Structure 1
Amino acid sequence: MFHALRFLVSAALLALPVACASAGKTPAATATPPAYDAALAERLGADDLGMRSYVLAILKTGPQDAAITDKDQRAELFAGHFSNMGRLAEDGKLVLAGPLGGEDGRRGLFILNTAYIATAQEWVASDPTIEAGIFTVDYSKYYGSAALMQVNEVHAKIQKKGIGE
Protein backbone atom coordinates (compact mmCIF):
# COMPACT_ATOMS: atom_id res chain seq x y z
CA MET A 1 0.00 0.00 0.00
CA PHE A 2 2.88 2.36 0.84
CA HIS A 3 4.34 1.95 -2.63
CA ALA A 4 0.94 2.29 -4.29
CA LEU A 5 0.29 5.55 -2.45
CA ARG A 6 3.70 6.92 -3.40
CA PHE A 7 3.02 5.92 -7.02
CA LEU A 8 -0.36 7.68 -7.01
CA VAL A 9 1.07 10.84 -5.46
CA SER A 10 3.98 10.81 -7.91
CA ALA A 11 1.65 10.23 -10.84
CA ALA A 12 -0.57 13.13 -9.73
CA LEU A 13 2.44 15.43 -9.43
CA LEU A 14 3.73 14.40 -12.85
CA ALA A 15 0.30 14.96 -14.40
CA LEU A 16 0.03 18.53 -13.06
CA PRO A 17 1.94 20.23 -15.93
CA VAL A 18 -0.14 18.33 -18.51
CA ALA A 19 -3.42 19.25 -16.81
CA CYS A 20 -2.39 22.89 -16.53
CA ALA A 21 -1.20 23.03 -20.13
CA SER A 22 -4.50 21.62 -21.33
CA ALA A 23 -6.27 24.39 -19.41
CA GLY A 24 -3.98 26.96 -21.07
CA LYS A 25 -2.06 27.75 -17.89
CA THR A 26 1.42 27.00 -16.65
CA PRO A 27 1.85 25.25 -13.29
CA ALA A 28 3.44 28.38 -11.78
CA ALA A 29 0.42 30.46 -12.79
CA THR A 30 -2.16 28.09 -11.31
CA ALA A 31 -1.13 27.95 -7.70
CA THR A 32 0.58 30.00 -5.07
CA PRO A 33 3.77 28.29 -3.92
CA PRO A 34 3.26 26.60 -0.56
CA ALA A 35 4.73 28.25 2.51
CA TYR A 36 7.24 25.46 3.08
CA ASP A 37 8.73 25.46 6.57
CA ALA A 38 11.93 23.40 6.45
CA ALA A 39 12.45 23.54 10.22
CA LEU A 40 8.90 22.30 10.90
CA ALA A 41 9.22 19.56 8.30
CA GLU A 42 12.45 18.38 9.92
CA ARG A 43 10.97 18.54 13.45
CA LEU A 44 7.98 16.44 12.34
CA GLY A 45 10.11 13.94 10.41
CA ALA A 46 8.51 14.80 7.07
CA ASP A 47 9.83 13.56 3.76
CA ASP A 48 9.70 15.71 0.59
CA LEU A 49 5.96 15.03 0.27
CA GLY A 50 5.26 16.10 3.85
CA MET A 51 4.63 12.47 4.81
CA ARG A 52 6.23 9.94 7.15
CA SER A 53 5.89 6.32 8.24
CA TYR A 54 3.83 5.19 11.23
CA VAL A 55 2.27 1.98 12.49
CA LEU A 56 -1.52 1.66 12.58
CA ALA A 57 -2.84 -0.58 15.36
CA ILE A 58 -6.46 -1.72 15.19
CA LEU A 59 -7.86 -2.89 18.54
CA LYS A 60 -10.34 -5.72 18.12
CA THR A 61 -12.59 -7.53 20.56
CA GLY A 62 -10.42 -10.03 22.40
CA PRO A 63 -11.13 -13.55 23.63
CA GLN A 64 -11.71 -12.46 27.25
CA ASP A 65 -13.96 -9.47 26.58
CA ALA A 66 -17.22 -11.30 27.26
CA ALA A 67 -15.71 -13.27 30.16
CA ILE A 68 -14.66 -10.19 32.17
CA THR A 69 -18.04 -9.03 33.44
CA ASP A 70 -17.20 -7.56 36.85
CA LYS A 71 -17.89 -3.81 36.51
CA ASP A 72 -15.17 -2.78 38.95
CA GLN A 73 -12.58 -4.98 37.22
CA ARG A 74 -13.54 -3.58 33.80
CA ALA A 75 -13.45 -0.02 35.13
CA GLU A 76 -9.97 -0.62 36.54
CA LEU A 77 -8.74 -2.19 33.28
CA PHE A 78 -10.12 0.67 31.18
CA ALA A 79 -8.71 3.28 33.56
CA GLY A 80 -5.35 1.63 32.97
CA HIS A 81 -6.03 1.62 29.22
CA PHE A 82 -6.61 5.39 29.18
CA SER A 83 -3.66 6.00 31.51
CA ASN A 84 -1.42 3.95 29.23
CA MET A 85 -2.58 5.92 26.20
CA GLY A 86 -1.84 9.17 28.05
CA ARG A 87 1.66 7.99 28.94
CA LEU A 88 2.38 6.90 25.36
CA ALA A 89 1.11 10.26 24.06
CA GLU A 90 3.22 12.20 26.57
CA ASP A 91 6.26 10.16 25.52
CA GLY A 92 5.62 11.06 21.86
CA LYS A 93 4.90 7.44 20.96
CA LEU A 94 1.11 7.64 20.45
CA VAL A 95 0.20 10.07 17.69
CA LEU A 96 -3.55 9.49 17.49
CA ALA A 97 -6.09 7.22 19.17
CA GLY A 98 -9.82 6.79 19.19
CA PRO A 99 -12.73 4.39 19.35
CA LEU A 100 -14.23 2.70 16.31
CA GLY A 101 -17.84 1.64 15.81
CA GLY A 102 -17.35 -2.05 16.56
CA GLU A 103 -17.97 -3.34 13.03
CA ASP A 104 -16.26 -6.72 12.54
CA GLY A 105 -15.02 -6.50 16.13
CA ARG A 106 -12.95 -3.37 15.45
CA ARG A 107 -13.11 -1.29 18.63
CA GLY A 108 -10.35 1.30 18.41
CA LEU A 109 -7.22 2.50 16.71
CA PHE A 110 -3.80 3.82 17.53
CA ILE A 111 -1.39 5.51 15.16
CA LEU A 112 2.08 5.06 16.62
CA ASN A 113 5.19 7.13 16.01
CA THR A 114 7.36 4.36 14.63
CA ALA A 115 7.93 2.74 11.26
CA TYR A 116 8.47 -0.66 12.90
CA ILE A 117 5.69 -3.06 13.85
CA ALA A 118 7.87 -4.79 16.46
CA THR A 119 8.42 -1.46 18.25
CA ALA A 120 4.69 -0.68 18.16
CA GLN A 121 3.95 -4.13 19.59
CA GLU A 122 6.31 -3.44 22.52
CA TRP A 123 4.63 -0.11 23.27
CA VAL A 124 1.07 -1.43 23.04
CA ALA A 125 1.74 -4.64 24.99
CA SER A 126 1.75 -2.65 28.25
CA ASP A 127 -1.95 -1.78 27.87
CA PRO A 128 -3.94 -3.54 30.64
CA THR A 129 -6.94 -4.23 28.36
CA ILE A 130 -4.66 -6.02 25.92
CA GLU A 131 -2.85 -7.93 28.67
CA ALA A 132 -6.26 -9.03 30.02
CA GLY A 133 -7.51 -10.15 26.59
CA ILE A 134 -10.31 -7.58 26.27
CA PHE A 135 -8.61 -6.47 23.08
CA THR A 136 -6.32 -8.04 20.52
CA VAL A 137 -4.37 -5.90 18.07
CA ASP A 138 -3.77 -6.03 14.32
CA TYR A 139 -0.79 -4.00 13.11
CA SER A 140 -0.07 -2.45 9.74
CA LYS A 141 2.47 0.00 8.39
CA TYR A 142 0.90 3.36 7.59
CA TYR A 143 2.25 6.23 5.49
CA GLY A 144 0.53 9.53 6.25
CA SER A 145 0.95 13.23 6.77
CA ALA A 146 3.73 14.24 9.15
CA ALA A 147 1.30 16.90 10.41
CA LEU A 148 -0.34 14.14 12.48
CA MET A 149 2.59 14.62 14.85
CA GLN A 150 0.90 17.85 15.99
CA VAL A 151 -2.46 16.30 16.91
CA ASN A 152 -1.68 15.86 20.62
CA GLU A 153 -0.37 19.43 20.92
CA VAL A 154 -3.45 20.90 19.25
CA HIS A 155 -5.86 18.57 21.06
CA ALA A 156 -4.54 19.72 24.44
CA LYS A 157 -5.55 23.25 23.48
CA ILE A 158 -9.14 22.36 22.57
CA GLN A 159 -10.01 19.71 25.19
CA LYS A 160 -12.23 21.04 28.00
CA LYS A 161 -12.56 17.75 29.94
CA GLY A 162 -10.45 14.68 30.44
CA ILE A 163 -11.71 11.19 29.68
CA GLY A 164 -13.92 9.97 32.51
CA GLU A 165 -14.78 13.42 33.85
Structure 2
Amino acid sequence: MKIGIGIFLSLLTFQSVLAQKPSDFTIVFQGQAKVNVPQFERESITNLFGTVLGRTIESHEDHDLVWFDGGGFLKLAYHSDDMVIPPSQFIKSMQLGLLVPSSEYEKVMNAIKSSGAKPVLPEVEKYQDHSNFYYFHAPGGQIFRIVNSITTMPKTGEGYVYDAERAQKYGADEYGMKKYIFAFLKRGPNRDFPKDKANELQNAHMQNIIRLANEGKLILAGPFFGDGDLRGIYIFDVPTLEEAKALTETDPAIQAGSLVMELMEWYGAAALMAIPEIDRTLVKKSIID
Protein backbone atom coordinates (compact mmCIF):
# COMPACT_ATOMS: atom_id res chain seq x y z
CA MET A 1 0.00 0.00 0.00
CA LYS A 2 1.44 3.37 -1.00
CA ILE A 3 0.86 6.52 1.03
CA GLY A 4 1.69 9.98 -0.30
CA ILE A 5 4.44 11.82 1.55
CA GLY A 6 2.08 14.64 2.56
CA ILE A 7 -0.50 12.20 3.93
CA PHE A 8 2.23 10.20 5.71
CA LEU A 9 3.61 13.33 7.40
CA SER A 10 0.11 14.38 8.38
CA LEU A 11 -0.46 10.99 9.99
CA LEU A 12 2.81 11.29 11.90
CA THR A 13 1.83 14.75 13.12
CA PHE A 14 -1.62 13.54 14.14
CA GLN A 15 -0.13 10.57 16.00
CA SER A 16 2.37 12.78 17.82
CA VAL A 17 -0.43 15.08 18.96
CA LEU A 18 -2.42 12.14 20.28
CA ALA A 19 0.65 10.73 21.96
CA GLN A 20 1.31 13.82 24.09
CA LYS A 21 0.05 13.33 27.62
CA PRO A 22 -0.64 16.07 30.18
CA SER A 23 2.51 15.01 32.02
CA ASP A 24 4.46 15.92 28.87
CA PHE A 25 3.33 19.54 29.08
CA THR A 26 5.93 22.09 30.09
CA ILE A 27 4.33 24.39 32.65
CA VAL A 28 6.64 26.60 34.62
CA PHE A 29 5.84 28.32 37.90
CA GLN A 30 8.66 30.56 39.06
CA GLY A 31 8.87 30.49 42.85
CA GLN A 32 6.51 29.26 45.53
CA ALA A 33 3.04 30.34 46.62
CA LYS A 34 0.35 29.30 49.06
CA VAL A 35 -3.35 29.28 48.18
CA ASN A 36 -6.14 28.65 50.69
CA VAL A 37 -8.86 26.46 49.21
CA PRO A 38 -12.18 25.19 50.61
CA GLN A 39 -11.87 21.60 51.75
CA PHE A 40 -14.76 20.47 49.55
CA GLU A 41 -12.84 21.61 46.41
CA ARG A 42 -9.86 19.32 47.07
CA GLU A 43 -10.87 16.63 44.59
CA SER A 44 -11.67 19.18 41.86
CA ILE A 45 -8.44 21.12 42.23
CA THR A 46 -6.21 18.05 42.34
CA ASN A 47 -8.02 16.79 39.24
CA LEU A 48 -7.23 20.08 37.44
CA PHE A 49 -3.54 20.18 38.31
CA GLY A 50 -2.90 16.44 38.41
CA THR A 51 -5.10 14.83 35.75
CA VAL A 52 -5.73 17.73 33.35
CA LEU A 53 -2.33 19.46 33.53
CA GLY A 54 -0.19 16.46 34.47
CA ARG A 55 1.54 18.04 37.47
CA THR A 56 3.07 15.92 40.23
CA ILE A 57 1.07 16.32 43.44
CA GLU A 58 2.54 15.56 46.85
CA SER A 59 -0.37 14.94 49.22
CA HIS A 60 -0.40 15.70 52.95
CA GLU A 61 -3.14 15.57 55.55
CA ASP A 62 -4.28 19.19 55.24
CA HIS A 63 -2.52 20.38 52.10
CA ASP A 64 -1.11 19.38 48.73
CA LEU A 65 2.08 20.50 47.02
CA VAL A 66 1.78 20.90 43.25
CA TRP A 67 5.16 20.80 41.50
CA PHE A 68 5.95 22.58 38.25
CA ASP A 69 8.79 22.58 35.76
CA GLY A 70 11.56 24.91 36.83
CA GLY A 71 11.38 23.78 40.47
CA GLY A 72 8.52 26.03 41.60
CA PHE A 73 5.61 24.70 43.60
CA LEU A 74 2.16 25.68 44.78
CA LYS A 75 0.94 24.84 48.28
CA LEU A 76 -2.80 24.23 48.37
CA ALA A 77 -3.96 24.52 51.98
CA TYR A 78 -7.45 23.17 52.68
CA HIS A 79 -9.78 24.91 55.16
CA SER A 80 -13.42 25.21 56.07
CA ASP A 81 -15.49 27.69 54.03
CA ASP A 82 -15.32 30.42 56.66
CA MET A 83 -11.49 30.40 56.56
CA VAL A 84 -11.13 31.32 52.87
CA ILE A 85 -12.16 34.36 50.87
CA PRO A 86 -15.24 34.07 48.64
CA PRO A 87 -14.49 33.27 44.96
CA SER A 88 -15.91 36.65 43.91
CA GLN A 89 -13.15 38.41 45.82
CA PHE A 90 -10.25 36.71 44.02
CA ILE A 91 -10.42 39.29 41.21
CA LYS A 92 -8.88 41.71 43.73
CA SER A 93 -6.13 39.34 44.80
CA MET A 94 -2.79 38.31 43.30
CA GLN A 95 -2.95 36.41 40.02
CA LEU A 96 -0.48 33.56 39.62
CA GLY A 97 1.30 33.14 36.27
CA LEU A 98 2.13 29.81 34.66
CA LEU A 99 4.63 29.98 31.78
CA VAL A 100 3.99 27.68 28.83
CA PRO A 101 6.12 27.40 25.66
CA SER A 102 4.48 28.69 22.49
CA SER A 103 4.46 25.19 20.97
CA GLU A 104 2.20 23.92 23.80
CA TYR A 105 0.21 27.02 24.70
CA GLU A 106 -2.92 26.12 22.67
CA LYS A 107 -2.96 22.55 24.01
CA VAL A 108 -2.65 23.65 27.62
CA MET A 109 -5.28 26.37 27.20
CA ASN A 110 -7.72 23.94 25.56
CA ALA A 111 -7.13 21.38 28.30
CA ILE A 112 -8.01 23.98 30.93
CA LYS A 113 -11.12 25.07 29.03
CA SER A 114 -12.24 21.45 28.62
CA SER A 115 -11.82 20.82 32.35
CA GLY A 116 -14.64 23.21 33.14
CA ALA A 117 -12.44 25.78 34.88
CA LYS A 118 -14.21 29.12 34.56
CA PRO A 119 -12.61 31.94 32.52
CA VAL A 120 -12.05 35.26 34.28
CA LEU A 121 -14.59 37.99 33.38
CA PRO A 122 -15.13 36.79 29.79
CA GLU A 123 -17.32 39.84 29.10
CA VAL A 124 -14.39 42.23 29.77
CA GLU A 125 -12.30 43.09 26.70
CA LYS A 126 -8.98 42.74 28.57
CA TYR A 127 -9.64 39.05 29.10
CA GLN A 128 -11.00 38.22 25.63
CA ASP A 129 -7.72 38.08 23.71
CA HIS A 130 -6.22 34.65 24.41
CA SER A 131 -3.24 34.86 22.03
CA ASN A 132 -0.74 35.63 24.80
CA PHE A 133 -2.60 35.13 28.09
CA TYR A 134 -5.49 33.04 29.30
CA TYR A 135 -6.99 33.85 32.70
CA PHE A 136 -9.03 31.27 34.58
CA HIS A 137 -10.40 30.47 38.02
CA ALA A 138 -9.14 27.27 39.58
CA PRO A 139 -11.66 25.43 41.78
CA GLY A 140 -12.02 27.55 44.90
CA GLY A 141 -11.66 30.82 42.99
CA GLN A 142 -7.91 31.51 42.77
CA ILE A 143 -7.04 33.23 39.48
CA PHE A 144 -4.26 31.84 37.31
CA ARG A 145 -3.05 33.00 33.94
CA ILE A 146 -1.13 30.90 31.47
CA VAL A 147 1.45 32.89 29.54
CA ASN A 148 2.39 32.16 25.93
CA SER A 149 6.15 32.33 26.42
CA ILE A 150 8.70 32.32 23.61
CA THR A 151 11.57 31.74 26.04
CA THR A 152 10.12 28.91 28.12
CA MET A 153 11.13 25.91 26.07
CA PRO A 154 10.61 22.17 26.68
CA LYS A 155 12.20 20.85 29.86
CA THR A 156 15.87 19.84 29.72
CA GLY A 157 16.28 18.56 33.26
CA GLU A 158 14.68 18.57 36.67
CA GLY A 159 14.65 22.06 38.12
CA TYR A 160 15.89 23.81 34.98
CA VAL A 161 14.15 25.82 32.28
CA TYR A 162 15.87 26.31 28.94
CA ASP A 163 15.91 29.90 27.70
CA ALA A 164 16.58 29.70 23.95
CA GLU A 165 16.76 33.47 23.49
CA ARG A 166 19.40 33.90 26.20
CA ALA A 167 21.33 30.85 25.04
CA GLN A 168 21.62 32.38 21.59
CA LYS A 169 22.58 35.78 23.03
CA TYR A 170 25.43 34.27 25.04
CA GLY A 171 26.58 31.86 22.33
CA ALA A 172 25.83 28.73 24.36
CA ASP A 173 25.96 25.26 22.88
CA GLU A 174 23.40 22.59 23.83
CA TYR A 175 25.25 22.01 27.12
CA GLY A 176 25.17 25.69 28.09
CA MET A 177 28.91 26.00 27.40
CA LYS A 178 31.14 27.91 24.98
CA LYS A 179 34.79 28.40 24.09
CA TYR A 180 36.82 31.23 25.57
CA ILE A 181 40.50 32.13 25.49
CA PHE A 182 41.97 31.96 28.98
CA ALA A 183 45.04 34.11 29.63
CA PHE A 184 47.48 33.79 32.50
CA LEU A 185 49.34 37.01 33.32
CA LYS A 186 52.80 36.20 34.64
CA ARG A 187 55.61 38.26 36.06
CA GLY A 188 57.74 39.64 33.20
CA PRO A 189 61.49 40.25 32.99
CA ASN A 190 61.25 44.05 33.33
CA ARG A 191 59.97 44.92 36.79
CA ASP A 192 62.45 47.49 38.09
CA PHE A 193 60.75 50.73 37.15
CA PRO A 194 60.87 53.97 39.16
CA LYS A 195 57.76 54.41 41.29
CA ASP A 196 56.25 57.10 39.07
CA LYS A 197 56.81 55.02 35.95
CA ALA A 198 55.40 51.87 37.64
CA ASN A 199 52.26 53.79 38.68
CA GLU A 200 51.86 55.21 35.19
CA LEU A 201 52.26 51.74 33.69
CA GLN A 202 49.71 50.23 36.10
CA ASN A 203 47.19 52.96 35.27
CA ALA A 204 47.66 52.39 31.54
CA HIS A 205 47.28 48.63 32.13
CA MET A 206 43.93 49.20 33.89
CA GLN A 207 42.72 51.63 31.22
CA ASN A 208 43.41 49.00 28.58
CA ILE A 209 41.45 46.41 30.56
CA ILE A 210 38.44 48.76 30.69
CA ARG A 211 38.69 49.43 26.96
CA LEU A 212 38.74 45.72 26.10
CA ALA A 213 35.80 45.10 28.43
CA ASN A 214 33.79 47.94 26.87
CA GLU A 215 34.45 46.48 23.43
CA GLY A 216 32.98 43.16 24.60
CA LYS A 217 36.24 41.28 24.04
CA LEU A 218 37.26 40.83 27.68
CA ILE A 219 34.69 39.09 29.86
CA LEU A 220 36.57 38.77 33.12
CA ALA A 221 39.87 39.99 34.55
CA GLY A 222 41.46 40.12 37.96
CA PRO A 223 44.69 39.74 39.98
CA PHE A 224 45.72 36.90 42.24
CA PHE A 225 46.50 37.54 45.88
CA GLY A 226 50.10 37.15 47.04
CA ASP A 227 53.39 37.97 45.39
CA GLY A 228 53.92 34.91 43.22
CA ASP A 229 54.91 34.86 39.56
CA LEU A 230 51.29 34.29 38.48
CA ARG A 231 49.83 37.80 38.66
CA GLY A 232 46.29 37.49 37.26
CA ILE A 233 43.92 36.19 34.59
CA TYR A 234 41.96 37.38 31.57
CA ILE A 235 39.06 35.56 29.92
CA PHE A 236 38.53 36.65 26.32
CA ASP A 237 35.40 36.11 24.23
CA VAL A 238 37.22 35.71 20.92
CA PRO A 239 37.38 32.67 18.62
CA THR A 240 41.13 32.20 18.20
CA LEU A 241 44.38 32.30 20.10
CA GLU A 242 45.75 34.65 17.44
CA GLU A 243 43.07 37.26 18.10
CA ALA A 244 43.57 36.98 21.85
CA LYS A 245 47.33 37.40 21.37
CA ALA A 246 46.76 40.56 19.34
CA LEU A 247 44.57 41.94 22.12
CA THR A 248 47.09 41.16 24.86
CA GLU A 249 49.77 42.93 22.86
CA THR A 250 47.81 46.18 23.25
CA ASP A 251 48.45 46.02 27.01
CA PRO A 252 51.12 48.60 28.00
CA ALA A 253 52.37 46.23 30.72
CA ILE A 254 52.95 43.53 28.12
CA GLN A 255 54.64 46.02 25.81
CA ALA A 256 56.96 47.12 28.63
CA GLY A 257 57.83 43.54 29.58
CA SER A 258 56.39 43.97 33.07
CA LEU A 259 54.00 41.12 32.32
CA VAL A 260 54.02 38.18 29.97
CA MET A 261 50.95 36.27 28.86
CA GLU A 262 50.24 32.55 28.40
CA LEU A 263 47.13 31.80 26.35
CA MET A 264 44.99 28.66 26.32
CA GLU A 265 41.66 27.69 24.80
CA TRP A 266 39.12 27.08 27.54
CA TYR A 267 35.64 25.52 27.56
CA GLY A 268 33.41 27.05 30.22
CA ALA A 269 29.89 28.10 31.14
CA ALA A 270 28.27 30.50 28.67
CA ALA A 271 26.71 32.19 31.70
CA LEU A 272 30.02 34.00 32.18
CA MET A 273 28.88 36.26 29.34
CA ALA A 274 26.40 37.83 31.78
CA ILE A 275 29.18 39.06 34.08
CA PRO A 276 29.89 42.42 32.37
CA GLU A 277 26.21 43.40 32.46
CA ILE A 278 25.87 42.46 36.13
CA ASP A 279 29.19 44.11 36.99
CA ARG A 280 27.94 47.52 35.89
CA THR A 281 25.25 47.40 38.57
CA LEU A 282 27.72 46.60 41.36
CA VAL A 283 30.47 49.16 40.81
CA LYS A 284 30.24 52.06 43.28
CA LYS A 285 33.72 53.47 42.62
CA SER A 286 36.02 53.10 39.63
CA ILE A 287 39.12 51.02 40.32
CA ILE A 288 41.30 53.58 38.53
CA ASP A 289 40.11 56.63 40.52
How many aligned positions are there?
135
Greater share of residues in strand: 2
2:225 & 2:257 partners in 1: Cα distance? 19
Q: CA deviation at 1:115?
A: 3.0
Provide the C-alpha distance between the structure 1 equivalents of 2:159 and 2:223, rounded to a whole number of angstroms. 37
**TM-score w.r.t. structure 2 length?**
0.45
Shift of 1:35: 1.5
- Determine helix, strand or coil for the equivalent of 1:159: coil
Partner of 2:82: none
The ranges of structure 1 where at least 4 consecutive aligned residues each deviate by more than 3 angstroms after the TM superposition are 30-33
Greater percentage in helix: 1
Q: Are residue 101 (structure 1) and residue 250 (structure 2) matched?
A: no
Alignment map for 1:5-154 (pairs within 5 Å) = 32-65=158-191, 67-68=192-193, 70-102=194-226, 104-154=228-278
Contact preservation (8 Å) 1:93, 1:114: yes
> Any gaps of 5 or more consecutive residues in structure 1?
1-27
- 1:115–1:141 Cα contact (<8 Å) kept: no
Structure 2 residue matching 1:56: 3-state secondary structure: strand
Q: Which amino acid aligns with 2:211?
A: R
Decide whether the 8 Å contact of 1:61 with 1:135 is kept in 2: yes
Distance 2:163 2:173 in 1: 12
**CA distance, structure 2, for counterparts of residue 100 and residue 117 of structure 1:** 23
Answer with 110-119 or 44-53: which moved more.
Answer: 110-119
Q: Which residue of 1 aligns with 2:112?
A: none
Distance, in Å, in 2 between the alignment partners of 1:143 and 1:110 is 14
Q: Percent identity?
A: 38
In 2: Cα distance, 1:50 partner to 1:63 partner:
39
Contact 2:206 2:288 in 1 (8 A): no
**Alpha-carbon offset, residue 71 of structure 1:** 1.1
Give, in whole Å, the separation in 2 of the partners of 1:91 and 1:139: 20
> What does the per-residue CA deviation read over 1:7-58, in whole Å, with 9 as the maximum and x for residues that have no partner?
xxxxxxxxxxxxxxxxxxxxx9x96352211011001000000000000000
The 1-side partners of 2:227 and 2:287 are apart by 23
Amino acid at match of 1:42: Q
TM-score by length of 1: 0.77
Superposition CA RMSD, Å: 1.8
Displacement of 1:102 in angstroms is: 4.7
Residue segments in structure 2 that go unaligned for 5+ positions in a row = 1-68, 72-156
Map Cα deviations across residues 90-126 of structure 1 (whole Å, 9 max, x no partner).
0000000000135651001000001311110001100
- Quote the Cα distance in structure 2 between the aligned partners of 1:43 and 1:103: 38
The 1:103/1:55 distance shift into structure 2, 3 A limit, reads: farther
Q: Distance in 2 between matches of 1:125 and 1:38?
A: 36
